[in-house]
Amino acid sequence: MERLEKLGPSVLSDAELLAVILRIGNKKENVVDMSNRLISKYGFDKLSMCTLSELQEINGIGISKACQILALFELNKRHSYSKINGKPIKTAKDVFSHCSPRLSSLDMEHFMILHLDSKNRVLKNEVVSIGALTGTIAHPREVFKSAIKESAHSVILVHNHPSGSPPGFDISILSSNMLI
């Protein structure tokens, strides 16, 4: 905590940053060592995908600390999403930037619709279908029902690939001036 106060958060290691969030260790070890063990077991990149019970498997991580960790990653996801919100969608990269915080860490395939206004700003995100690791089914009725309900000018259909094959997302764009 003192290093952060004097030098700023950028100089702290991943374990030290996590230790600031968790605040205290236990009788057997300090909070930085506990954070290092947690990162060593799951890897920093996979820590955000842990469940409450997985986090609690680490000695010294109870329900409170596990909830703090999950809240930290959810807050980060929402922060990433809020930076994009309100900007018009112009490219596939914009769609990826918009959807990635919500879809990248999921372990089941999600079919999502972005409802756009006439200036290509997102009116609403809606998950229409959740499937399994390798697929999901979305009926056209559900896609168009929500687009009409939201008075969307156009929609972008997105689904993730949690299996990693092919990597990333698939994107389809339907515009009101293309529909007959």
| 3-class secondary-structure state, position 112 | strand
State CA 83 to chain mean position distance. Answer: 13
Determine the Cα–Cα distance for residues 145 and 116; give it in Å rounded to an integer: 14
- Kindly state the average pLDDT of the residues 60-70: 92
Instruction: Note the pLDDT of residue 16.
Output: 92
In degrees, to the nearest 5, what angle opens at C-alpha 103 toward C-alphas 77 and 70?
40
Last residue of a domain, one of 43, 58, 80: 80
Determine the Cα–Cα distance for residues 163 and 180; give it in Å rounded to an integer: 35
Same structural domain for residues 128 and 146? yes
Which residue shows structure tokens 């952060």? Answer: 4
CA-based torsion, 126, 73, 45, 64: positive or negative: negative
| pTM of the complete model | 0.54
Instruction: Note the pLDDT of residue 180.
Output: 33
C-alpha closest to that of 128 among 152, 110, 107: 110
Is position 152 within any domain?
A: yes
Instruction: Note the pLDDT of residue 109.
Output: 87
Which residue shows structure tokens 């922060």? Answer: 79
Task: Identify the band that residue 45 occupies on the pLDDT scale cut at 50, 70 and 90.
Answer: confident
Determine the Cα–Cα distance for residues 24 and 1; give it in Å rounded to an integer: 11
Same structural domain for residues 67 and 109? no
Same structural domain for residues 94 and 48? no
- Kindly state the average pLDDT of the residues 39-52: 86
Is position 180 within any domain?
A: no
Range of 130's domain?
87-175
- Kindly state the average pLDDT of the residues 107-129: 87
**Does residue 165 surpass a pLDDT of 80?**
no
